[in-house]
Structure 1
C-alpha cells in the first residue's frame, strides 16, 4: 500500500484490508510514521511517536484490526506512558493505571502509536500551549485547530491516522471537529466508562471518545468503547442493537429544533447561519418536522457553574502537583490557569451543596427545553477557525479568571450546555466557508439515544458528502 492510498481510507476500510490480507498492521504503522514525518513538522500535532510503535500490542481481530491510533495527552491513560497534560507542571509524569478506554482500544485491534498536543490542562478551546507550541490547522496553518483535542484533530485531518482519541468537557471534541472538518461525537453521560479511576469525571461533564472522518467509524467506535464497568455510578440505558447495525436502519420522521439565533454573546458569522439554514431546509426535504428553538439556558448560569467547578479543579490540581513533586507557580502554569487557581485560593469557598443545586437546576431546565424535539440542529461554533492567539488562549496574560470564563461561555455557547445536561451531540463537517475553512454543524440527541444520531448523521453524510474535501496540508 502506498501512502496516497493509506490516507484515503477510513479506519473501517483499513481494518477490512488487514482482515483480507491485503496489508498488515505493521505496514499500517509504518505508513502512519511516513505520514507523520511528512506533515507533523508543519502542523505540530504529535508530540511523541512511540519508539516502540512497531511492536505495540493490539488484538489480532476486532473492528479496527491493525489500525494506527493516537492518544490525546490528557484523560484516559496508558500504563507507564508519558502523560504531561500539555503542561510544564506534569513534565515527565507516567500514570501507573491503564484506563478501560485503552483496554477496549487494544481489544478492538487498535495500535496506539503516539500522543497528541493540547492546550494546557485542556482548559482552552484553542490549539497552543507553552509546553507544546502551536498546533496548526491543516486547512490553514495560521488558524486554530481548536481544542482541547487539538493535536488529535489535526493529525486525523492531515492523514497521520484515520482515528484518534479525544475527550470533551465543554466542547473539546466538537470544537476541533468543526474547525478541522471531522466527525466529532460527545456521547451521553455514562455511555463511555471513565474507569477505573475517573468514573463520571467532573460530575459527568467530561467524556472520552474519538475524532474520525466518517460516520461509520463513529458508529463502530461507539460499539468498541461503550459499556459499563464495575464501579461506574450508574448504568445508562443500553442500545437495542449495535451502532454499526443502526447504519442500515430507517431514520423515521423526526421533530427537529433548529437554533438560528445566538445562545451567547458572540454573534453567528453569516456563513455559519447560512449553513444552518441550508441543512434545516434539507432536513425538511427529507420529511422531518422543523421548528425554531430558543436558547435553553442563561449564560450567567453556565458561567456560575464553571466558576464553581474551578474550586474543585484547584483542589485536584494541588493534589496532582504534590504527587508529581512540583509546585504551582508562573514557572509551571500558564497565565490563565494560574489566575484560575489563585482566584479560587483567594476567594470564599462556594459550598458544594450550592454547586450541586446549580447543576441540578440547569440540567432540569435544559432537559425541559429540549424535550419536545427528537434532535436539535445548531452551529457547532458561531465562527470559523480564528487566527492563533487572542483572548481565548490560556497563554493570554490580559484577562482575569472571571473574564476568561465569561469569554468561554460566549464562544462555546452551543457546546458546554450539553456537557452539563448529559445529552449526546455530534459535530458533522457539513459546510465550508468561501475561503475554504470547514464549518461544523451540531446534531444533539435525546439522552441515551446515540442510535438516532448515528442514523441522521448517516443521512446527512449521504446528502452532503465531505470525504472529497481535502485540507491544504495532507500526507501524500
Structure 2
C-alpha cells in the first residue's frame, strides 16, 4: 500500500497550524517561505492524490509577502470547491457546467480567511458532495495518502488528502452527511462537524428544507480545530449558542458515554465494532462511565434522510441551467446525482412527512443527551474501501447500496444539528486509519474538544511518517 506524504525539513517541518503560528511569531520562519514550502509540497503530492481543484499560487505568494491580520496570519490552507472565494471558480466537483469566478467571497470564506489563513486554492470533492468517495469518470479519484489504492473519503476528500499528506496543516471542509468526519476518518485526521449555525455559511447551505450542512476544518491535531473555532468566533458569533471560547486543556468532568455500534439499519463490521469497544475501554480506563446503548434514530431515519438527499439533487437537476448558466449539461452529471433525482421525483408525495420527521430529530437527540453526555460510535461502519468500490459511474443501485453500508453513523448529527468529531483513535488490520466518532448535545463543542484533547493525550494519533502496522489505539 503506497503512502504519499511531503513532510520534510523545510519551513513547514512537521508543524500543525498552532505550531506554525508559534514559529512565525518567533521569527524562526517567514510567511513567504512558509507559503512557498506549501506550494512545493502540494505540487509534490498532488500528482499522486488528485486533490487540487484550482490553484491560486500567485495570490498566495502575494499574501505571503504582505499577510493580512488574524491569529493564523501566514498559515497556508485550501478551501473546498463548493464555497465561494473571490477570483476562484466554484465548480462543486461537477463536470456539468463551467463556473465563472465570483467577484467576492461568500460568507464562509469571508469568515474563514479573516482569521489570517492564506488560501493556496481549492480542493476537489465528489459531484455536488453527494458521494462519500470523490471519484469522477473524467477527473479520476481523490486518493488516500496513507494508501493510494484506497479512497480519501468525501466529499471533503481533497482537503483531507492534502492535510494528511502534509501539504498544509489545516483546510476547509463541510459536512452534509458526514463529509468532514468521513475523510478525516479515512485519512487519519481530526474532523469536527460543529453545531448547526456555529460558523458562517454561504446562502446555498442556509436555505435547505432541513439545514444539514455545517462548515468546519480537517486538521492533524485537536488543538488546531479548537483554535480555528476560537478564532472564527471572534469574527462571527452565533448568538443562539453558548460560546466555544479557548479550549486548550483536557476536560476534567467524568462523562456518561453511550456506545453505539448499529445505526440506520446497519451494524458495524466485526472488526470495526471490536475497535469501537476498545476505544470504549480506553474511555472507561480514564474514569468515564461507559455503557452500550441503542441509537436514538427512529427506524424511518435512513429512508427519510435519503429522500431529503434526493430532493437536494432534484433542486440541482431541475434548476441547473438557471443556477449554473448556459453551459449546464445534465448528461454530464454522474449516475448517482441523476439517480437521487429520480428517487425524489418518484416519491414527492412522501417528502413532506420525511421532512417533518427529520425536523423532529433534534428533540430526539436532545432527549438522548439528557441521559448521556457523549455518544461513541465508529465514524464509518466498515474499513476504508479501495478506489473503485464507490465509483458512481457503476450505476445508482450498486453505488447507493455500498454507500449505505459504509455511511450509517454520521448523518444523524447533520439532521439533529448537534456537534460530532471523528478522531483517528484506531488502525485497521490493513494498517489504515480508522476514525472513532464522539457526539454531544447542541452547543457542546467545548465538552467534545476537552474529551478529544484527553484522548489525544492518552492515545497519541498515528503519524503517516511512522512505520505501517496494525493496532489500536496506535
Partner of 2:379: 380
Q: Deviations over 1:85-124 (max 9, x none)?
A: 1111132332344122222232211100111111111100
For 1:327 and 1:103, locate their aligned partners in 2 and report how far apart those are by CA, in whole Å.
28
The match for 1:325 is 326
Distance 1:163 1:27, change over 3 A: same
| Residues 408 and 47 of structure 1, relative CA distance in 2, 3 Å threshold | same
Alpha-carbon offset, residue 249 of structure 1: 6.1
- Partner of 1:451 in structure 2? 446
SS of equivalent residue, structure 2 residue 421: strand
Aligned mates of 1:299, 1:96 — CA distance in 2 = 45
Distance 1:189 1:7 in 2: 35
Q: How does 1:5-404 map to 2 (within 5 A)?
A: 5=10, 6-52=12-58, 53-56=60-63, 59-74=67-82, 76-195=83-202, 198-199=205-206, 201=208, 203-226=210-233, 235-239=239-243, 242=245, 245-248=246-249, 250-259=251-260, 261-323=261-323, 324-330=325-331, 332-345=332-345, 347=346, 349-350=348-349, 353-390=352-389, 392-397=390-395, 399-400=396-397
Once the two structures are overlaid, the 10-residue window that deviates more, 62-71 or 164-173, is 62-71
CA contact (8 A) 2:53 2:123 kept: yes
1:15 Cα deviation (Å)?
A: 1.4
Cα offset for 1:180? 0.4
Measured in 1, the distance between the counterparts of 2:388 and 2:215 equals 27
Distance in 1 separating the partners of 2:186 and 2:465: 13
Deviation at 1:178, TM superposition (A): 0.5
Is 2:445 the counterpart of 1:439? no
- Secondary structure of 1:338 counterpart: helix
Q: Is the 8 A contact 1:138 1:472 kept in 2?
A: no
Seen in structure 2, the aligned counterparts of structure 1 residues 385 and 180 have a Cα distance that, compared at 3 Å, is same
CA shift, 1:446, in A, is 1.2
Contact 2:264/2:302, CA 8 A, preserved across alignment: no
The runs of 5 or more residues in structure 1 that have no matched partner are: none
Q: Distance in 2 between matches of 1:380 and 1:193?
A: 25
- Distance change (3 Å), C-alpha of 1:469 and 1:139: closer
- Secondary structure of 2:185's counterpart equals helix
User: Which residue does the alignment assign to 2:472?
Assistant: none
In the TM superposition, what is the alpha-carbon distance from 1:340 to its structure 2 partner?
A: 2.1
- The answer to whether the Cα contact below 8 Å between 2:135 and 2:141 also exists between their aligned partners in 1 is yes
> Offset of 1:389 from its aligned partner?
1.4
Cα pair distance change 1:28/1:382, threshold 3 Å: same
Segments of structure 2 that go 5 or more residues without pairing to the other structure are: 1-6, 469-474
- 3-state DSSP class of the match of 1:118? coil
Deviation at 1:246, TM superposition (A): 2.2
Q: CA deviation at 1:467?
A: 5.3
CA distance in 2, matches of 1:71, 1:441: 25
Per the alignment, in what secondary structure is the counterpart of residue 113 of structure 1? strand
For residues 226 and 367 of structure 2, the distance between their equivalents in structure 1, rounded to whole angstroms, comes to 28
TM-score of the superposition, structure 2-length normalised? 0.89
Q: Does structure 2 retain, via aligned residues, the 8 Å contact 1:236–1:448?
A: no
Q: Deviations over 1:171-210 (max 9, x none)?
A: 0111110010000000011111214564365522001111
Name the counterpart of 2:3. Answer: none
Distance 1:130 1:294 in 2: 39
Quick one: distance in 2 between partners of 1:227 and 1:405? Answer: 40
Residues in 2 aligned to 1:251 and 1:69: alpha-carbon distance in whole angstroms: 32
With normalisation by structure 1, the TM-score equals 0.89
